[in-house]
Amino acid sequence: MIRRFIQRVLGNSAKPQAGRPPAGGPLILPRAKHGIKRENIDSCALRTCETLADNGFKAFVVGGAVRDLLLGKKPKDFDVATDATPEEVRRLFRRSRIIGRRFRIVHVMCGRDTIEVTTFRAAGNLSGDEEDERPTDESGRILEDNIFGSQAEDAARRDFTVNALYYDPLREEIHDYFNGVADCKKKILRMIGDPATRYREDPVRMLRAARFAAKLEFHIDPATRKPVAELAQLLDNVPRARIFDEAVKLLMSGHALRGVHQLRAEGLHHGMLPLLDTILDDEQGRRFIEAGLKNTDERIHADKPASPGFLFACLLWPQVQRRWQDIQTEGEKSIPALFLAMDEVLEAQRELLAIPRKLDGMIKEIWALQPRFEQRAGSRPFRLLEHPRFRAGYDFLLIRAESGDAAQELGDWWTEFQDADENTRKSMLVADTGPKPRRKRRRKPKAAPAEEIPSA
């Protein structure tokens, strides 16, 4: 309370640490200058802003939505920024709840839509010369960011100039503190304030730079890019779960292929997807992963479902294959060797990337189905069609075929088989080419039929 009062009093004279808003306040652009139409704003975000404004608070659509609308792209989500505290917001909306600890925000729900409402944050450095009040770790990483401030301070602690644009839907104006509109037009990604300091505060901003550059097809401003090579290792201090979330955002952005190459170009993959190093240097692994990422990008652009489980199954497959081969060379049989390799690879990744265990089931099923696609005799292909993961396994097989990791003929066969009528299917059956199924030990010459390869 007291802190908030001090901030209110000092609010306007405060000098934000991250970067200083232009002395004359923000550039205010009317509709004719920015071209964003109110009709393109999500109705839940509009209603949230209206309710806040009716109750005497400031309220803006902010962040990625304004940037994407300026660029003529469809925003992924709409965030609202306000001078109301989380408690004040919470009281105004019946269907809302406060979430987060490191960064407290309010989720406002309308129908199935959720809008994130954030209270303007200060940089935490009220005098500008004193130490930042926000708790940090020994490398300068901010652990908590809940000190509220003015709109200008809020703009200054955002990451990139194009992410610090505020759209007032009632007046249809954009408030632009750091020439973000001009950078949008020039397609430049520029960090607000001193880039090295901002990366130290939150090393994830380096990953965000690579993600936005790939997604928006922006050029990273040289001063923003420069410190990255040196500071990339700070990613080691970031909790693995946060890195995993950022990896998913990059991989599910619809620009995963470009994003992964951008990461590598910036030397950031060690901190995010360390497995890329070994794989992308290997011609076959690279071809497979590129085909997998391209496929996911296309699915996302076509509004088809895409899942992180499938993506990680793609990213880790070249490693699984390598270990599968090695374990067989050591004398293990094909299928047990595959299951051993799967467990080893997932376990090794857990330390580096914290892939949540809930994805393990799907990832393993997709992998374990692969040898079963080679069995095209008897009743096995019919049973495989009934497998709940058939579709994901088949999509995966097609990526393998496209990249030369499986025979194209095998992929084509399954494409035809699944849509064929019963008689055609029977006529299509061919002798097994895959690993031989395990047989039960026979005591008597009259043995039971061959046992099925275990399904995943």
Name the active-site residue from 42, 68, 79, 202.
79
* Residue of 260, 207, 261, 258 whose CA lies nearest to 231: 207
The residue from 145, 154, 159, 405 that is catalytic is 159
Is 343 an annotated catalytic residue?
no
C-alpha to C-alpha distance for 19 and 8, rounded to whole angstroms: 20
> Nearest to residue 45, comparing CAs of 160, 168, 159, 149?
168
DSSP β-bridge partners for residue 82: 59, 119
409 to 448: interface string for Mg ion, x by CB under 5 A: ----------------------------------------
Residues 292, 294, 299, 300: what is their CA dihedral angle, to the nearest 10 degrees? Answer: 110
Residue 425 burial (C-beta neighbours within 10 Å; 0-12, 13-18, 19+): middle
Among 76, 102, 185, 440, binds ligand ATP (CB under 6 A): 76
CB under 6 A: which stretch of 28-36, 197-205, 287-295, 308-316 binds ligand ATP?
197-205
Stretch that binds ligand ATP, among 89-97, 157-165, 257-265, 392-400 (CB under 6 A): 157-165
Per CB under 5 A, contacts with Mg ion among 44-103 are 64, 77
How far apart, in whole angstroms, are the C-alpha atoms of residue 206 and residue 195?
10
Q: Which of 77, 194, 326, 360 is catalytic?
A: 77
Q: From the CB of 325, what's the least distance to ligand ATP, in Å?
A: 38
C-alpha–C-alpha distance, residues 333 and 328, integer Å: 6
Residue with tokens 């699915």: 299
What whole-number distance in Å separates Cα of residue 399 and Cα of residue 314? 9
Please name the residue that has the structure tokens 């090695």: 326
- Going by C-alpha positions, the residue among 275, 433, 260 that lies closest to residue 353 is 275
CB of 183 to ligand ATP, least distance (A): 13
Per rule CB under 6 A, is residue 204 in the interface with ligand ATP?
yes
195 near Mg ion (CB under 5 A):
no
How far is it, in rounded angstroms, from Cα 353 to Cα 376? 37
Q: Which is nearer to Mg ion, 219 or 249 (CB)?
A: 249
Amino acid present at 190? R
- Decide which of Mg ion, ligand ATP, none touches 158; Cβ closer than 5 to 8 Å per partner kind: ligand ATP
CA distance 166 to 178: 11
Q: How many residues bind Mg ion (CB under 5 A)?
A: 2
Name the minimum Å distance from CB 79 to ligand ATP: 5
Q: Which of 52, 60, 79, 288 binds ligand ATP (CB under 6 A)?
A: 79
> Count residues contacting ligand ATP (CB under 6 A)?
12
x/- contact string, 28-67, with ligand ATP (CB under 6 A)?
Answer: -----------------------------------xx---
Termini Cα distance of the chain: 56
**411 touches ligand ATP by CB under 6 A:** no
Q: Is 159 a catalytic residue?
A: yes
- Token pair, residue 17, equals 């640490």
Please answer whether residues 184 and 162 qualify as being in contact, where contact means their C-beta atoms are separated by less than 8 angstroms. yes
Contact range with ligand ATP by CB under 6 A, out of 159-167, 273-281, 338-346, 420-428: 159-167
Q: Which is nearer to Mg ion, 77 or 132 (CB)?
A: 77
Nearer Cβ to ligand ATP, position 179 or 415? 179
Residues 6+ apart with CB under 8 A from 393: 365, 366, 369, 370, 372, 373, 384, 387
Residue 141 sits in the site that holds ligand ATP (CB under 6 A): no
**Which helix or strand (DSSP H or E) is residue 322 part of?**
helix 308-329
77 is catalytic: yes
Q: Least distance in Å: CB of 75 to Mg ion?
A: 7
How far apart are CB 246 and ligand ATP at their closest, in Å? 9
Residue 173, interface with ligand ATP (CB under 6 A)? no
Q: How far is the CB of 218 from ligand ATP (least distance, A)?
A: 12
- Retrieve residue 30's tokens: 């009317």
Q: Kindly state whether residue 285 participates in binding Mg ion, applying the rule CB under 5 A.
A: no
Contact 139/200 with Cβ under 8 angstroms? yes
Report the distance separating Cα 136 and Cα 376, nearest Å: 59
Dihedral-angle region of residue 296 (phi above 0 means left; psi in -120 to 50 means alpha; beta otherwise): alpha
User: Using the rule CB under 6 A, which residue among 141, 158, 190, 376 binds ligand ATP?
Assistant: 158
Which residues carry out catalysis? 77, 79, 159
Q: Which spans of this chain sit near ligand ATP (rule: CB under 6 A)?
A: 63-64, 76-77, 79, 158-159, 163-164, 202, 204-205
Contact positions vs Mg ion (CB under 5 A): 64, 77
